[in-house]
Amino acid sequence: MRRSARYACLAAAGLLALASLTACADDATGSTADAAGGGGGGETVKIMVGGLDKVIYLPAMLTQRLGYFRAEGLNVRMLSEPAGVQAETALVSGQVQGAVGFYDHTLDLQVKGKPVESVVQFSHAPGEVVIVSGKAAGELTSPADFKGRKLGVTGLGSSTDFLTKYLAVEHGVGISEFTPVAVGAGPTFIAALQNGAIDGGMTTDPTATTILDKKAGKVLVDMRTPEGSREALGGPYPSSSLYMRTDWVNDHKDTVQKLVNAFVKTLKWMSTHSADEIAAKMPADYSQGDKSLYTQAIKSTLPMFTDDGVMPRGGPETVERVLKAFNPNIKNAEVDLGRTYTTEFVNAVK
């Protein structure tokens, strides 16, 4: 028990340090993006991203690097937190005007009386991977084996936490029968897996590709493609998106339209360019010294992205069904899906 407590304290300290370093890096990267044509003058908008270097949120920084925000007359400041739930908190508290994170937060927040909505949908699959350690791989062969296990998630209340609970419940394991452990992503997740602090967990690229390259784990569930999403979750699962407070959207429609214009332009650009070409546009430090591995991570995750920013048909219903399977707040609440997203702005993109 003392060892577990000691690890929890170390992990928390590590995540705080990582968040501080990431924020500093983001400020530096933002300056570089501005100089390269990503920011510049115009109306300033702050957007919090649940991990700027995660491939699932790649359109955020890529739009900056391609200069599309500046072309719309916007000066967008990208900030970063290690988990989507922290980006959600920053948005609701008014620290930022937008959050790049999973669409499922819009449902969760609605039932808490905090209306937010996705204004442009980046993806139609989660982009998540369940990976188990080499030591646990022999016994942990499906989500039905989650019972009694310690499973890593980026943060408690995050989308990785949501999806892990859903997979457990769908395979007959109660959410009280396993232990979710907040280990972030990247080096902190990998260290937890290698040190035995977790038996497995849910993460994204480039963390997943790095683990496989190190032969430190094995893929159990792959949801980086629409096919993988349907197999694991029973339908399309809209995940990464730009979501904003509904009252702010209603009061700043011109600004929201400019943001959506820029993001849709990026999604179309991504659909006609290779992983190598996309990697070449991203900040050099995102590859962590291995450009080939980073390019492979992008290639593995590219199928999750839409090319038009439109909410996939049936996607909100899949997300609601997933959340109702384990979340008592949503299970017993009436969710108005029509208020969790809008197609007004993507439909108006020229």
Please check the confidence at residue 82 and state whether its pLDDT lies above 70: no
- pLDDT per position as a tens digit, 228-272: 999 999 999 999 999 999 999 999 999 999 999 999 999 999 999
Within this chain, do residues 268 and 217 fall inside the same structural domain, yes or no?
Answer: no
Owning domain of residue 340: 2-125+237-347
Across residues 340-346, what is the average pLDDT?
A: 98
* pLDDT score for 41: 60
Q: What mean pLDDT, rounded, does the chain reach?
A: 88
Whether residue 118 is found in the same domain as residue 258: yes
Q: Are residues 297 and 320 in the same domain?
A: yes
Same domain, 212 and 290: no
Instruction: Give the pLDDT band (50/70/90) at residue 329.
Output: confident
If asked whether residues 260 and 341 sit together in one domain, one would say yes
The reply to whether 111 and 249 lie within a common domain is: yes
Over pLDDT 90: what percentage of the chain? 77
The whole-model pTM stands at 0.84
The number of folded domains in the chain is: 2
Same domain, 117 and 6: yes
Domain boundary (192, 216, 233) is at 233
Give mean pLDDT, residues 42-50.
91
Domain boundary (233, 248, 280) is at: 233
71 and 135: one domain?
A: no
Q: Are residues 120 and 159 located together in one domain of the fold? A: no
Same domain, yes or no: 89 and 189: no
The domain spanning residue 141 has which CATH number? 3.40.190.10
Q: Sorting pLDDT into bands at 50, 70 and 90, what band is 56?
A: very high
Strands of 116-121's sheet, edge to edge? 74-80, 43-49, 98-102, 240-245, 116-121
- Is there a contact between 282 and 61 (Cβ–Cβ < 8 Å)? yes
Last residue of a domain, one of 182, 202, 233: 233
